[in-house]
Amino acid sequence: MIRVDKIAKKFTKFVDKGKKVDFYADYDISFEAVEGEVLGILGPNGAGKTTLLRIIAGIMKPSSGKVIIDNLEYENSEVKIKRKMAFLTGNTKLYKDISVYELLEMTGEYYGMRKKDIVSKIKYLTNKFDMESFLHQRIVALSTGQVQKASIARCLIHDPKYYILDEPTSGLDIISSKTILDMIKEEKKNNKCILYSTHYMEEAENICDRVILLNRGKIIMIGTPDEIRRKTKTSNLRDAFFALVEDE
């Protein structure tokens, strides 16, 4: 289980004439996500989604609050927690000078997998995502769709318990988006916990068990899509979001 407890993240930005201004990207964020659940994190640009997911993935430290994953905290169990996770963003860039096979092999090695297991998992993922034709090609030579498949395979190689997906379908065509959405559905069936941030409210409505609506770094509502629609007396999450923002 992922437990986020009163997370806040403060940044300092420079405004005119070298003046510094502090602002919170995230403030007083608390929630839990359990196995077999897809938890959507929705909000406009600047809502604090990426910062929140970076904190949960352990690549940023919160200014206050804590993230507890399977009763472990980053402070003293960073490597143990990261072994259970996979992180994928719409901006994820892969090493261009290596082949897809080398990428998957390297990722498996970082996650401490045995050589034999890496080889069999690569074989499995190659078949699953139909990557045979470009498995040994350097990533620089691949199409966007092929890169996306390699990216997803990279996340699946070590069979993580938790997925942190930050706008993974952003900028992708329908086919590439479908590959990711299918992966999410399948991993949910495998009882994995998935944190999924997106701009696309309709997409979230279809795939998420619960949804967190974020605005200006704060949670404005949390619940299942049905609950949110009911509470806001709207017919979809988009309208629900606007209704909540107007009420603020």
Q: Of 177, 108, 110, 107, which is closest to residue 148 (Cα–Cα)?
A: 177
CA 115, 185, 172, 130 torsion: positive or negative? positive
Burial class of 76 by CB neighbour count within 10 A (0 to 12, 13 to 18, 19+): exposed
- Contact call for residue 89 and other proteins (CB under 8 A): yes
Q: Which of 68, 94, 119, 181 binds other proteins (CB under 8 A)?
A: 94
Residue 107 found at the interface with other proteins (CB under 8 A): yes
For residues 207 and 177, is the Cβ–Cβ distance under 8 A?
A: no
Which one of residues 97, 226, 246, 248 is an interface residue with other proteins (CB under 8 A)? 97
Computed from CA positions of residues 92, 127, 133, 185, in that sequence, does the dihedral angle turn out positive or negative? negative
Q: Is 79 one of the binding residues for other proteins (CB under 8 A)?
A: yes
State yes or no: residue 106 binds other proteins (CB under 8 A). Answer: yes
User: 217 — phi, psi (to 5°)?
Assistant: 80, 0
Q: Does 196 bind other proteins (CB under 8 A)?
A: no
Query: Hey, what are 26's tokens?
Result: 């995230």
Residue 172 binds other proteins (CB under 8 A)? no
Query: Which of 6, 80, 123, 178 forms a contact with other proteins (CB under 8 A)?
Result: 80
| 148 near other proteins (CB under 8 A) | no
Q: Which stretch, 66-74, 98-106, 210-218, 239-247, contacts other proteins (CB under 8 A)?
A: 98-106
Shortest Å distance, C-beta 235 to other proteins: 37
Q: How far apart are CA 170 and CA 180, in angstroms?
A: 11
The rounded distance, in Å, linking the Cα atoms of 17 and 161 is: 47
Q: Is 60 in the site for other proteins (CB under 8 A)?
A: yes
Which of 78, 130, 173, 186 is close enough to bind other proteins by CB under 8 A? 78
The C-alpha angle with vertex 161 and arms to 237 and 166, in degrees rounded to 5, equals 40
Asked if 102 is part of the footprint of other proteins (rule: CB under 8 A), the reply reads yes
Interaction of residue 110 with other proteins, rule CB under 8 A: yes
Q: Footprint of other proteins on this chain (CB under 8 A)?
A: 57-61, 78-83, 85-87, 89, 91-98, 102, 106-107, 109-112
